[in-house]
């Protein structure tokens, strides 16, 4: 880890002014920045501390939805009773992420800005070729060990998986990221690699996430985040699904559904084809299974990650079926 300058920002404007300088990085919870600095990927000239800025830690929920400040801690959001009631998938995605110690430190804004956990990206000493670190150098993952790599949204330049959990739930709920004077739909905020894998989000130099808005929706309170992984704790998803579901009064027919995938794509992945296949249809095992297969349309495997193409639809189908059964029991209908 090399030497760097430290600046404690007195305001959001001061943080932005500092962040526009070459080699500057923002510090909130620090849980990702410290890791990246230790492995030699992040080499900031200046670290700008924003942890003490006021007004950025609030968690507010009302009839219009939720607004979560960028400096709110992951644990605080996960445990907030109003979030649990209105957006259970958000609470679950945070609870299933990292360890309790990390959730106590990490912020919501920092969580959205985390970099990939691709081992080739995080080991510059061994793997010099990484288009995320050094554009044009190549992708060491292609042709390497790919079990945890993406099958959706990939390109010849990069197959690194987006490993976060929270953003998957936020994409399902059509959340909006507040970046100072502009707001961006979260599905647009994250970028697929294409020919520029070094650009993972729409954030520009001198910009800073200040909050996230999650609009209310009829099915938000009936939502789930299902995460399948190699071990039960402190592990990234092999595949995950955030699903919200609203049924008609008959307790069987889908009025509205939102589906997003994690662990299988280069960004949080909205499965709109699954949604379109189910809206207006009666829920049954065969219908759900057939629709869930659409979640991996266009998937491309690179050896060891082939299993994700089979796993992801099963995770989606299970999440939908579990929600449908729960809704039917609550409403007295039959699913």
CA atoms of 243 and 241, how far apart (whole Å): 6
- Confidence class for position 140, pLDDT limits 50, 70, 90: very high
Sheet holding 269-270, edge to edge: 223-228, 239-247, 254-262, 269-270
Structure tokens at 11: 């305001």
CA distance 61 to 80: 10
Does residue 332 come out as left (phi exceeding 0), alpha (psi in the -120 to 50 range) or beta? left
Q: Give me the residues paired with residue 25 across strands.
A: 47
Tokens, residue 233: 């704790």
Question: Average pLDDT, whole number, for the chain?
Answer: 94
In this structure, of 52-56, 106-110, 179-183, 331-335, the range with the lowest mean pLDDT score is: 331-335
Query: Tens digits of per-residue pLDDT, 166-219?
Result: 999 999 999 999 998 899 999 999 999 999 999 999 999 999 999 999 999 999
Q: Which residue has the higher pLDDT, 1 or 147?
A: 147
Three-class secondary structure of residue 5 per DSSP: strand
DSSP E strands in the chain: the ranges are: 5-8, 24-27, 46-49, 59-62, 65-69, 176-179, 182-185, 211-215, 223-228, 239-247, 254-262, 269-270
Distance between CA atoms of residues 156 and 75, nearest Å: 37
Q: Are 186 and 177 in contact (CB under 8 A)?
A: yes
Residue 206 is given by DSSP the state T
pLDDT band at 291 (very low <50, low <70, confident <90, very high): very high
First to last CA, the chain: 56
The answer to whether the beta carbons of residues 305 and 143 sit under 8 Å apart is no
Residue 326 pLDDT: 84
Coil, helix or strand at residue 240? strand
Q: Taking residues 217-222, what's their average pLDDT?
A: 94
Sketch out the chain's domains with CATH numbers: 5-49 (3.30.43.10), 223-331 (3.30.390.50)
Specify whether the CB–CB gap between 159 and 264 falls below 8 A: no
Compute the distance between CA of residue 210 and CA of residue 181 in angstroms, rounded to an integer: 10
Give every CB contact of residue 82 below 8 A, 6+ residues apart in sequence. Answer: 59, 61, 66
């Amino acid at each position: 880890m090399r030497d760097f300058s430290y600046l404690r920002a007195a305001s959001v404007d001061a943080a932005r002014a500092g962040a526009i300088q070459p080699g500057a990085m923002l510090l909130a919870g620090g849980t990702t920045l410290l890791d990246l600095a230790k492995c030699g990927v992040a080499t900031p000239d200046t670290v700008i501390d924003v942890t003490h800025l006021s007004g950025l830690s609030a968690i507010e929920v009302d009839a219009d939805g939720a607004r979560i400040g960028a400096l709110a801690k992951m644990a605080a959001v996960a445990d907030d009773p109003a979030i649990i009631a209105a957006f259970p998938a958000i609470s679950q995605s945070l609870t299933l992420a990292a360890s309790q110690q990390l959730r106590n430190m990490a912020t919501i804004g920092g969580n959205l800005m985390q970099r990939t956990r691709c081992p080739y990206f995080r080991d510059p000493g061994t793997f010099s070729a990484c288009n995320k670190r050094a554009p044009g150098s190549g992708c060491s993952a292609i042709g390497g060990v790919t079990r945890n790599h993406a099958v959706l949204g990939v390109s010849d330049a990069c197959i690194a998986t987006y490993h976060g959990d929270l953003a998957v739930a936020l994409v399902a709920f059509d959340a909006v990221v507040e970046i100072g004077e502009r707001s961006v739909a979260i599905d647009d905020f994250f970028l697929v690699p294409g020919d520029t894998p070094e650009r993972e989000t729409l954030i520009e130099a001198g910009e800073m996430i200040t909050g996230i808005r999650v609009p209310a929706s009829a099915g938000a309170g009936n939502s789930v985040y299902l995460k399948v992984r190699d071990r039960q704790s402190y592990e990234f998803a092999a595949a995950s699904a955030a699903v919200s579901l609203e049924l008609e009064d008959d307790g069987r027919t889908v009025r509205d559904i939102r589906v997003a995938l994690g662990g299988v794509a280069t960004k949080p992945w909205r499965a709109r084809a699954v949604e379109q296949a189910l809206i207006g249809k009666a829920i049954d095992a065969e219908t759900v299974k057939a629709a869930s297969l659409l979640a991996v349309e266009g998937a491309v495997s690179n050896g060891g990650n082939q299993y994700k193409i089979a796993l992801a639809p099963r995770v989606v189908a299970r999440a939908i079926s579990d929600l449908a059964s729960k809704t039917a029991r609550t409403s007295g209908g039959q699913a």
